[in-house]
């Protein structure tokens, strides 16, 4: 009888899959991919703005009056001038809008969006002087590819290749290095053309050219998008070179000491910590002679496209449907088995189940070389040697945005499967070991609480040099990057949310860390600007280039400490990361979450899951 029921169950799931297949083919594949983060109901008017994840931290919708898609610098000037003349707030949106915070939202509903989608060309390449000038909307994938054709390389970059050069400069995006000028892209900017507001007598907009010796460049190199619309960027490049990459997995017993020195040992080294497993993956990554054999390629597994049918199926029926989808559709699925069950595990599962599931991704990634191949086709072992442009960044799922959604990035909101928080913060290199020691103590109190971190490939640590940019790092730092579950429902249960909140508050408040401008939830930005010694100089430049605040918004004013606060206080605000709780109502007492001190950093205030009747900690097992 049980066998018969099981057969009926799987037959029903197969039928469901066929229905889903028809829905995907006729609905998704028959729909043109959206032009980007801006969708309008009337041509280029009455528009809605979002990010690549389909949701800002506060879950609000950003509406604007209109959008412009300039294709030349002249059209960019005209778009800015039109907005200034109409006294409309302006924000620039990049092609994919990767930032979590509301950097691209003008505020209100009468603002203008200027998209740099079509400002995506190479302006000039001077191979003799090793300079490359590109338009601000050029995507990193295209930039490094065209540079390589000319025999040049961008020395450092973020790992995700779907960012635009303008977006990278707005948020201070970076790779990992303490060598030379370091791993931040803005350190290699030697010139910029930026369109800023102007008086009516000057046509309402002007192009300012900022050369390497212009002090305003230190403001524009990390701008938050509040100075104007970047038209062109000139980068100091290097001759094309090769890298040799090797990942080494070790016990985490000495991680605090190792992190303090690892950045000095390898030019492109980084560290991934899997706290629950007690393991660390060290990246040994250095330049090698250009004649070294190898044509390695980086196609990071987490940035690869997944079949949309399988993604849709996993939302409907969890891991069992994923199993059937893999059999029926004959598709190879890299990471879906865990994603399929994620919502159930986080909101209704046990620690035992979550920790078992958390082994899947790290083991898969390790077995498959994290997506690296020795020849562009197969991973055959370390080291992987390849040219800089084939190693430094990846993002093959970017192409899935243009294939009618037959495949998709894991986080594509139109397929609606993978939703997460992504927090990034930098702690001074001198203080990083003590911070890691505190995190270790927090982990040791309840190792199972860190399973979710392991399941998202751990805590990534990258190295960033001190910068002359006014909103760049004030001193050499370790950047910590963590990803964890977010529900589609507001204030839903998130397993061990208090642990992650304590970890972040510890970094930001006990150890003086600063948040990544393009990541994090609202509470991370409260008071952050005071940690930048040259913040006052940045505001002076902003006020001079844009005295009426055309490119500013309520959000940017809050983050820059000009007026207001990014904190949003209300019922459940701490569950969403919009505030730090000071009252039980900021959590979700009806679900058993109450505001309590942190366990290691008692200065933290976090929403802990309690037994409503007895007041004690709830244990899943």
Instruction: Find where tokens 């528009």 sit.
Output: 47
Lowest mean pLDDT among 10-24, 76-90, 161-175, 554-568: 10-24
pLDDT at 620 over 60: no
Mean pLDDT of the region 608-612? 71
pLDDT at site 312: 59
Lowest mean pLDDT among 197-201, 388-392, 408-412, 433-437: 408-412
* Burial of 340: CB neighbours in 10 Å, binned 0-12, 13-18, 19+: buried
Considering the four listed CATH numbers 3.30.360.10, 3.40.50.300, 3.30.930.10, 3.30.43.10, the one that applies to the domain covering 38-115 is 3.30.43.10
pLDDT at site 604: 98
The crossing angle, in degrees rounded to 10, of helices 497-505 and 432-445 is 160
Q: Which residues are CB-neighbours of 412 under 8 A, at least 6 positions away?
A: 54, 311, 400, 401, 405
pLDDT at site 133: 98
The pairing of strands 189-197 and 205-211 is antiparallel
pLDDT at 84 over 80: yes
pLDDT at 34 over 50: no
Which H helix or E strand runs over 41? strand 38-42
pLDDT at 405 over 90: no
Instruction: Find where tokens 């309008």 sit.
Output: 40
Strands lying side by side in the sheet with 62-68: 38-42, 45-49, 62-68, 112-115, 90-93
Strands (E), 108-228: 112-115, 122-126, 131-135, 152-153, 189-197, 205-211
Predicted TM-score (pTM) of the model is 0.90
Q: Which residues are CB-neighbours of 56 under 8 A, at least 6 positions away?
A: 50, 62, 100, 101, 102, 105
- Range 122-239 has CATH code 3.40.50.150: no
- How would residue 410 be classed by pLDDT, with cut points 50, 70 and 90? confident
pLDDT at site 488: 86
Q: For the chain, what are the domain ranges? A: 38-115, 122-239, 297-320+334-408, 568-613
DSSP calls for 425-464: EEEETTTHHHHHHHHHHHHHH-GGGGHHHHHTT-EEEEEE
Lowest mean pLDDT among 105-114, 319-328, 552-561, 586-595: 319-328
pLDDT at site 319: 39
No. of H helices and E strands in the chain? Answer: 16, 26
- How would residue 15 be classed by pLDDT, with cut points 50, 70 and 90? very low
Q: What rounded mean pLDDT belongs to the chain?
A: 89
Phi, psi of 293 (to 5 degrees): -60, 145
pLDDT in tens, 458-467: 999 999 999 9
Mean pLDDT of the region 189-193? 98
Which H helix or E strand runs over 535? helix 535-545
pLDDT at site 417: 67
pLDDT in tens, 432-457: 999 999 999 999 999 999 999 999 99
The crossing angle, in degrees rounded to 10, of helices 432-445 and 255-265 is 140
pLDDT in tens, 490-532: 988 889 999 999 999 999 999 999 999 999 999 999 999 999 9
């Amino acid at each position: 009888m049980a066998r018969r029921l099981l057969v009926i169950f799987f037959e029903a799931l197969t039928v469901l899959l066929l229905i889903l297949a028809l829905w995907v083919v006729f609905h998704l594949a028959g729909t043109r991919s959206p032009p980007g983060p801006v969708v309008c109901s009337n041509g280029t008017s009455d528009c809605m703005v979002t990010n690549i994840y389909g949701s800002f931290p506060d879950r609000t919708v950003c509406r604007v009056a209109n959008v412009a898609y300039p294709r030349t610098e002249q059209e960019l000037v005209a778009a800015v001038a039109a907005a200034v003349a109409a006294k409309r707030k302006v924000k620039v949106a990049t092609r994919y809008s990767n930032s979590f915070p509301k950097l691209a939202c003008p505020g209100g509903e009468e603002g203008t969006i200027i998209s740099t989608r079509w400002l995506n060309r190479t302006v000039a390449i001077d191979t003799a002087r090793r300079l490359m000038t590109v338009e601000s909307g050029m995507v990193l994938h295209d930039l490094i590819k065209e540079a390589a054709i000319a025999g040049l390389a961008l020395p450092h970059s973020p790992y995700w290749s779907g960012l635009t050069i303008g977006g990278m400069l707005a948020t201070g995006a970076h790779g990992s290095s303490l060598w030379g000028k370091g791993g931040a892209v803005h350190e290699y900017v030697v010139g910029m053309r930026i369109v800023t507001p102007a008086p009516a007598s000057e046509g309402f907009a002007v192009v300012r050219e900022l050369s390497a010796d212009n002090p305003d460049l230190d403001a524009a190199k990390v701008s938050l998008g509040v100075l104007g619309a970047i038209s062109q960027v000139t980068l100091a490049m290097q001759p094309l070179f090769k890298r040799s990459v090797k990942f080494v997995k070790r016990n985490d017993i000495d991680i605090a000491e190792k992190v303090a020195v690892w950045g000095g040992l390898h030019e492109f080294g980084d560290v991934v910590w899997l706290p629950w497993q007690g393991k660390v993956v060290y990246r040994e990554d250095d330049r090698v002679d250009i004649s070294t054999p190898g044509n390695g390629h980086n196609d990071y597994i987490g940035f690869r496209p997944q079949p949309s049918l399988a993604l849709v199926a996993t939302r409907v029926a969890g891991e069992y449907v994923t199993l059937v989808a893999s059999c029926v559709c004959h598709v190879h699925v890299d990471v879906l088995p865990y994603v399929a069950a994620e919502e159930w595990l986080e909101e209704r599962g046990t620690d035992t189940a979550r920790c078992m599931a958390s082994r899947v991704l790290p083991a898969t990634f390790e077995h498959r070389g994290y997506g690296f191949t020795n020849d562009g086709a197969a991973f055959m072992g370390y080291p992987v040697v390849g040219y800089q442009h084939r190693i430094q960044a990846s993002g093959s799922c970017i192409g899935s945005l243009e294939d009618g959604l037959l495949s998709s990035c894991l986080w594509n909101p139109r397929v609606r499967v993978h939703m997460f928080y992504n927090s990034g913060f930098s702690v001074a290199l001198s203080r990083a070991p003590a911070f890691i020691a505190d995190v270790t103590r927090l982990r040791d109190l309840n190792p199972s609480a860190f399973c979710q971190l392991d399941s998202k490939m751990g805590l990534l640590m990258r190295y960033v040099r001190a910068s002359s940019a006014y909103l760049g790092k004030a001193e050499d730092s370790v950047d910590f990057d963590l990803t964890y579950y977010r529900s589609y429902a507001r204030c839903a249960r998130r397993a061990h949310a208090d642990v992650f909140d304590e970890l972040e508050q510890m970094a930001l408040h006990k150890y003086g860390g600063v948040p990544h401008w393009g990541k994090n939830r609202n509470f991370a930005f409260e008071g952050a600007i005071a940690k930048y010694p040259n913040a006052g100089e940045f505001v002076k430049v902003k006020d001079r280039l844009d005295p009426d605040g055309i490119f500013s918004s309520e959000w940017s004013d809050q983050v820059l400490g000009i007026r207001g606060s990014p904190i949003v206080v209300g019922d459940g605000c701490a569950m969403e990361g919009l505030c730090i709780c000071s009252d039980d109502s900021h959590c979700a007492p009806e679900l058993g979450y109450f505001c309590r001190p942190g366990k290691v950093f008692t200065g933290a205030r976090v929403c802990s899951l309690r037994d409503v009747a007895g007041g004690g900690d709830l244990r899943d097992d």
